[in-house]
């Protein structure tokens, strides 16, 4: 019976493929991958945040002779938010930097997505309380502004 259930779940996966994941914001664009990466980094800076980390398998795969679609995770935060988060929950800082995710689509366009900061920090609200919720709400607004600027 478990094998049947597992098979049915596996077959149903394509039905959910177009649904955004819970807690995610997803912005489809007509921009190329390279342009969306550049515009995202510029929007981060314009909105008072800092690119803290960048990681993606695309260039490393190319160095090995493997071609894969563009794929980059951009970690974003700033010291003001770091200090504020630490005042509410030391454990919550494991989530910083919060990440934007740029992916290249089959048609050459790119998508920008991210887990909303309120979703990312939700497990720590028991410790950080309302002040952490407020910080997450501030970051939600900031991330949405970055995303909307990057994709326009």
DSSP 78: -
What average pLDDT does the segment 113-135 reach?
98
Assess contact for 54 and 152: CB atoms under 8 A.
no
Return the SS3 of 19.
Answer: coil
Residue 16: per-residue pLDDT? 45
Measured in whole angstroms, how far is the alpha carbon of residue 142 from the centre of its chain?
13
- Residue 64, pLDDT > 90, answer yes
Residue 42: per-residue pLDDT? 98
What average pLDDT does the segment 107-123 reach?
98
The position carrying tokens 């800076």 is 45
Of 94, 29, 104, the residue nearest 72 (C-alpha): 104
The position carrying tokens 């200090």 is 83
Left, alpha or beta for 52 (phi > 0: left; psi -120 to 50: alpha)? alpha
Q: Convert the pLDDT of each residue in 45-58 to its tens digit.
A: 999 999 999 999 99
Return the SS3 of 128.
Answer: helix
What average pLDDT does the segment 49-70 reach?
96
pLDDT bin (cut points 50, 70, 90) of residue 21 is: confident
What average pLDDT does the segment 30-55 reach?
98
pTM: 0.85
Q: Convert the pLDDT of each residue in 140-151 to its tens digit.
A: 999 999 999 999
Residue 18: per-residue pLDDT? 64
- Residue 17, pLDDT > 60, answer no
Superfamily of domain 21-151: TT1751-like domain (3.30.310.70)
In angstroms, the CA 127 to CA 36 distance is 36
The C-alpha angle with vertex 99 and arms to 36 and 30, in degrees rounded to 5, equals 20
């Amino acid at each position: 019976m478990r094998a049947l259930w597992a098979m049915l779940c596996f077959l149903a996966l394509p039905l959910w493929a177009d649904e955004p994941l819970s807690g995610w914001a997803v912005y489809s664009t007509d921009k190329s991958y390279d342009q969306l990466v550049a515009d995202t980094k510029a929007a981060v800076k314009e909105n008072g945040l800092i690119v803290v980390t960048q990681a993606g398998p695309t260039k490393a795969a190319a160095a090995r002779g493997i071609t894969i679609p563009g794929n980059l995770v951009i970690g974003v935060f700033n010291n003001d938010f770091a200090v504020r988060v630490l005042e509410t929950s030391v454990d919550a800082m494991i989530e910083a930097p919060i990440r934007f995710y740029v992916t290249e689509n089959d048609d050459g366009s790119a998508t920008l997505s991210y887990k909303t900061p309120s979703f990312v920090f939700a497990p720590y609200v028991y410790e950080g309380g309302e002040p952490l919720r407020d910080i997450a709400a501030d970051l939600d607004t900031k991330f949405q502004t970055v995303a909307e600027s990057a994709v326009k």
